[in-house]
C-alpha cells in the first residue's frame, strides 16, 4: 500500500451523513430495490438497461465472458450509436428541444436543437465519407470545446469509424505519438483556440505534430479564431480542408447503418506506468448502455426538464461519457462552455448556471477547491436556485471541499454524487444514488446497482469493515474497456495479472471500507499521479526531463497539493555532476516538460540533487522522495543501497518553481 496523506486519513473519521429529502426521493429515477435486482439477476438487470436504447437487431445473449478478459456484451445485437444519440429523439418529436447551449469564451453563444444536431452530424458523416473514411478507420480529433468537436465524434460513430480525441492542451509530440499508434487517416482540428481571452494557434501545432506522419491523408480544419489569430494558419495544399468548405455543402441526408454491438466506438489514450500511453478501446452497445443508465440514475436526469452541465473537456473520458454519449442518448439539454472558469471573471460558471437555469452540475474537486480559494462571496452574487444535483469526479474529494460545495453551491439542499470510475471503466462504477443514498462527505460509498467491486488484501481476499487494501472489480460490466489498442499482452498484464487467480480487474487504486461498509478511495497505488483529476505517469515526466541535454537522471513524484490534489515534484541530477540549476535553468526544464507533454505536466517544483535514492536492485524509492517533497521526516531507509543518500539530498537541496 502507498502511504496515506493526512487529508486522506482525515476522511476515515468523517461521520456526517445527509439523507435525501422526501421530496427528492419521491421523484427520483433510481430506487433502492435496484441494488437487489442487480445482485439477484445481473443479466436481467443489464438487459433492462439496454432497452433504454434503440436496437436494430435484438441481442441473443447479455454477456459472453468465455474469452475473459475479453468481454462481449449484448451479443448479436446491432445498433447505431449516433442514431441513438440524435435521430431517434427527432423522430420522437423532440427535434426542437435544445441539445446544446454552447457558450464561447469571448461571449458568443450558439444553441443547437436535436434537429440541428441531426443535420450537422449527417453532413459531417457525409464529409468524412467523401474524404475516404470508412468503418473501422481511425480519426484523430484535437479540438477545444466547440460544437464541431461533438459533431465530429458523432459523425465518426455514425459511419463506424473510431475517433481518438486528443486533449487540446497536449503537445505536438504527444499528438503525434497518438496519431501514429492509432494510424489515424484523418485529423480534425481548428485554426486556433481562445484561451484566457486570447486567440492561440492550434493548427500550427498540429502541423508540427504531423510532419512526416505516414498514416494521415487529410486534415479537416474548423475555423474558430479567424481574424483574431495574429499568425498565419499554415496550409498544406491537397491535404488540408476547411470544415466550413467541405461540411457545409454536404447533403443533410445520411442513413445510419446498424453496427454490431461490439463494433469499436473509440480509442482514448491514458497514462500508464510506462512512458507509452495506453490506447483504451471502447465498443458500442455495452458502453452506450452503461453511459445512458448511469447518466440517468446518478444524476437523476429528467429529459425535457433538466439543464445539465458537465464542465469536463471532451479530451478526457468524462467528456466522452458525460457530455457526448450518456447525456445525448438520454435526450439531455446541456451547457457546453468553451473557456476557463475565470475568463473574463471568477463568477463565469455561476453566471452561466443562472442564465441557463442549470439544474445538474458535474465538476472536479480541483475546481471546487479553486472556487473555495476565490471565495464564497463570488457564487453568492448569482441565483443558483435552479441547481438540484451536484457531481464530483476525478480524484477523492476532501470533506472540506465537499461541505463547501454543499453549502455554497448546493444551498445545503442538493445531493452530491461523488463518482468513482476510470477511462478504462468507461462509465461510473461507484457512486451514491441521489434520492436513495444518505451521502457522506468524501466517500463514493457503494458500487451502483448492476456493478460489483471489492476491497481486497494483497492475496485477493476481501477485507472486512474498517479494513483497507486494493480496489478490484470482480464481475465484468457493460462499458468495460475491450483492450488496449494493438496490445492484448499489455491489457492482460496491466489489469488482470495482479489478481489473476481470482480473475479480478485491478483498478490501480487503494481503498478502504468504513464501519458501515462504504468505500473510501485513497488514490493510486502505482506510479501514476493525479494532477487536477488528470492522470500523468511519473515515467512520462521523467522521460521528458532526461530528453533535455542538461539532465542526466530524473525521478518524479506526486506530492499532496492543496488545489490540484497532487502536484508534480521532480528531482534531477544534472550532467557532468553540474551543481548548476539556477532559477533560469530550472524554469527552462519546467518549460521543456510542458513542451514535450503539455502544460498540465509542467512540474510544480524541480530540485537539483547529487544522487537519487535507489534500492540495491536499482529501483528509485519514490516513497522517500515524496517525504522530501511533502516536507515530512524521511521514512525507513533500510532498503537503500546507500543509506547516506537521503542526507545528501536533504542537505544540498536547490529548489525552484
Ligand atoms: C483515476 C482514473 C473518471 C474520469 C476522470 C478520471 C481517480 C476518479 C475518483 C473519485 C477517487 C477518483 C482514480 C482513478 N478517480 N474519480 N470519485 N474518487 N478517485 O479518469 O484519468 O481515467 O483516472 O482517477 O485514481 O483510478 P482517469
For residue 535, the CA-to-ligand 1 centroid distance in Å is 8
Do you find a cis peptide bond into 69, omega within 30 degrees of 0? Answer: yes
pTM for this prediction: 0.93
Q: Are 357 and 386 in contact (CB under 8 A)?
A: yes
Cα(582)–Cα(567) distance, rounded to whole angstroms?
A: 21
pLDDT value for 386: 98
If you take atom 1 of ligand 1, which residue's CA is the nearest one? 422
pLDDT at 7 (0 to 100): 46
Q: How far is CA 38 from CA 273, 439, 505, 518, in A?
A: 34, 21, 19, 18
Q: Which of 282, 322, 395, 399 to mutate to test the pocket of ligand 1 (most atoms within 8 A of CB)?
A: 395
pLDDT at 634: 86
| pLDDT tens by residue, 494-516 | 999 999 999 999 999 999 999 99
Can you give the pLDDT at residue 579?
60
Q: What ipTM goes with this model?
A: 0.99
Dihedral-angle region of residue 581 (phi above 0 means left; psi in -120 to 50 means alpha; beta otherwise)? left
CA-nearest residue for atom 23, ligand 1, is 422
Query: Is the separation of the CB atoms in 222 and 144 below 8 Å?
Result: no
pLDDT digits (tens, 9 = 90+) for 592-603: 999 999 999 999
What is the position in ligand 1's atom list of the atom closest to the CA of 423? 22
Question: Which pLDDT value is given to residue 656?
Answer: 44
The 519-524 sheet, strands edge to edge: 453-456, 468-473, 505-513, 519-524
pLDDT of residue 642: 84
Q: Are 585 and 625 contacting, i.e. CB atoms less than 8 angstroms apart?
A: no
C-alpha grid cell, residue 149 = 468537436
Question: How much is the pLDDT for 649?
Answer: 83
The three three-digit cell numbers of residue 142, written as one number: 484535437
Which residues, in sequence order, are bridge partners of residue 61? 75
Residues of the chain with pLDDT under 70: 1-14, 577-581, 652-657
Q: What angle do CA 344, 347, 399 make, to 5 degrees?
A: 130
pLDDT for 653 equals 62
Residue 393 Cβ contacting ligand 1 at under 6 Å = yes
User: Distance, CA 364 to ligand 1 centroid (Å)?
Assistant: 10
Amino acid at each position: 500500500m502507498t502511504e496515506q496523506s493526512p487529508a486522506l486519513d482525515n476522511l476515515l473519521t468523517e461521520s456526517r451523513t445527509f439523507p435525501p429529502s422526501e421530496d427528492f426521493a419521491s421523484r427520483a429515477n433510481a430506487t433502492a430495490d435496484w441494488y437487489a435486482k442487480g445482485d439477484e439477476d445481473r443479466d436481467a438487470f443489464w438487459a433492462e438497461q439496454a432497452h433504454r436504447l434503440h436496437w436494430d437487431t435484438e441481442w441473443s445473449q447479455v454477456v459472453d465472458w468465455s474469452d475473459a478478459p475479453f468481454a462481449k456484451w449484448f451479443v448479436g445485437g446491432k445498433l447505431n450509436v449516433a442514431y441513438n444519440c440524435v435521430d431517434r429523439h427527432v423522430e420522437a418529436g423532440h427535434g426542437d428541444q435544445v441539445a446544446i447551449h454552447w457558450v464561447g469564451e469571448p461571449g458568443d453563444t450558439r444553441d443547437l436543437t436535436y434537429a440541428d444536431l441531426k443535420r450537422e452530424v449527417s453532413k459531417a458523416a457525409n464529409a468524412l465519407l467523401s474524404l475516404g473514411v470508412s468503418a473501422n478507420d481511425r480519426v484523430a480529433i484535437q479540438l477545444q470545446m466547440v460544437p464541431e468537436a461533438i459533431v465530429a465524434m458523432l459523425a465518426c460513430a455514425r459511419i463506424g469509424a473510431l475517433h481518438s480525441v486528443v486533449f487540446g492542451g497536449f503537445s505536438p509530440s504527444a499528438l503525434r505519438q497518438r496519431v501514429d499508434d492509432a494510424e489515424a487517416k484523418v485529423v480534425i482540428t481548428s485554426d486556433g483556440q481562445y484561451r484566457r481571452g486570447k486567440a492561440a494557434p492550434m493548427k500550427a501545432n498540429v502541423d508540427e505534430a504531423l510532419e512526416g506522419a505516414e498514416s494521415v491523408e487529410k486534415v479537416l480544419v474548423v475555423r474558430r479564431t479567424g481574424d483574431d489569430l495574429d499568425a498565419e494558419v499554415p496550409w498544406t495544399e491537397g491535404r488540408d480542408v476547411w470544415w466550413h468548405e467541405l461540411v457545409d455543402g454536404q447533403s443533410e441526408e445520411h442513413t445510419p447503418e446498424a453496427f454490431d454491438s461490439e463494433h469499436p466506438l473509440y480509442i482514448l489514450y491514458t497514462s500508464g506506468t510506462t512512458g507509452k500511453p495506453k490506447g483504451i478501446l471502447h465498443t458500442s452497445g455495452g458502453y452506450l448502455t452503461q453511459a445512458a443508465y448511469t447518466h440517468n440514475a446518478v444524476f437523476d436526469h429528467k429529459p425535457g426538464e433538466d439543464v445539465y452541465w458537465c464542465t469536463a473537456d471532451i479530451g478526457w473520458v468524462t467528456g466522452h461519457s458525460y457530455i457526448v454519449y450518456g447525456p445525448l442518448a438520454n435526450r439531455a439539454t446541456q451547457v457546453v462552455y468553451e473557456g476557463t472558469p475565470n475568463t473574463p471573471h471568477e463568477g463565469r460558471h455561476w453566471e452561466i448556471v443562472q442564465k441557463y437555469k442549470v439544474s445538474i452540475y458535474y465538476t472536479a474537486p480541483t475546481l471546487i477547491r479553486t472556487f473555495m480559494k476565490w471565495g464564497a462571496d463570488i457564487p453568492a452574487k448569482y441565483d443558483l436556485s435552479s441547481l438540484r444535483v451536484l457531481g464530483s469526479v476525478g480524484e477523492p474529494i476532501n470533506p472540506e471541499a465537499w461541505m463547501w460545495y454543499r453549502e455554497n453551491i448546493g444551498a445545503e439542499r442538493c445531493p452530491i454524487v461523488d463518482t468513482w470510475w476510470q477511462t478504462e471503466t468507461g462509465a461510473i462504477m461507484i457512486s451514491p444514488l441521489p434520492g436513495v443514498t444518505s451521502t457522506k462527505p468524501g466517500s463514493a460509498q457503494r458500487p451502483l446497482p448492476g456493478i460489483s467491486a471489492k476491497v481486497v488484501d494483497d492475496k485477493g481476499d476481501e477485507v472486512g469493515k474498517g479494513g483497507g487494501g486494493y480496489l478490484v472489480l470482480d464481475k465484468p460490466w457493460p462499458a468495460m474497456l475491450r483492450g488496449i489498442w494493438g496490445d492484448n499482452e499489455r491489457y492482460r498484464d496491466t489489469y488482470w495479472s495482479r489478481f489473476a487467480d481470482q480473475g479480478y480487474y485491478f483498478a490501480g487504486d487503494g481503498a478502504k471500507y468504513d464501519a458501515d461498509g462504504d468505500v473510501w478511495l485513497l488514490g493510486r497505488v502505482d506510479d501514476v499521479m493525479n494532477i487536477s483529476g488528470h492522470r500523468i505517469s511519473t515515467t512520462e515526466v521523467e522521460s521528458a526531463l532526461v530528453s533535455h541535454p542538461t539532465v542526466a537522471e530524473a525521478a518524479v513524484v506526486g506530492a499532496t497539493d492543496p488545489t490540484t490534489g497532487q502536484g508534480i515534484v521532480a528531482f534531477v541530477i544534472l550532467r557532468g555532476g553540474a551543481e548548476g540549476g539556477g532559477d533560469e535553468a530550472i524554469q527552462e526544464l519546467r518549460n521543456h516538460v510542458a513542451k514535450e507533454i503539455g502544460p498540465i505536466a509542467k512540474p510544480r517544483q524541480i530540485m537539483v540533487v547529487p544522487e537519487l535514492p535507489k534500492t540495491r536492485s536499482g529501483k528509485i524509492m519514490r516513497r522517500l522522495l515524496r517525504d522530501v517533497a511533502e516536507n515530512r521526516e524521511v521514512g525507513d531507509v533500510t532498503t537503500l543501497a546507500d543509506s547516506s543518500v537521503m542526507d545528501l539530498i536533504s542537505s544540498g537541496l536547490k529548489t525552484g518553481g
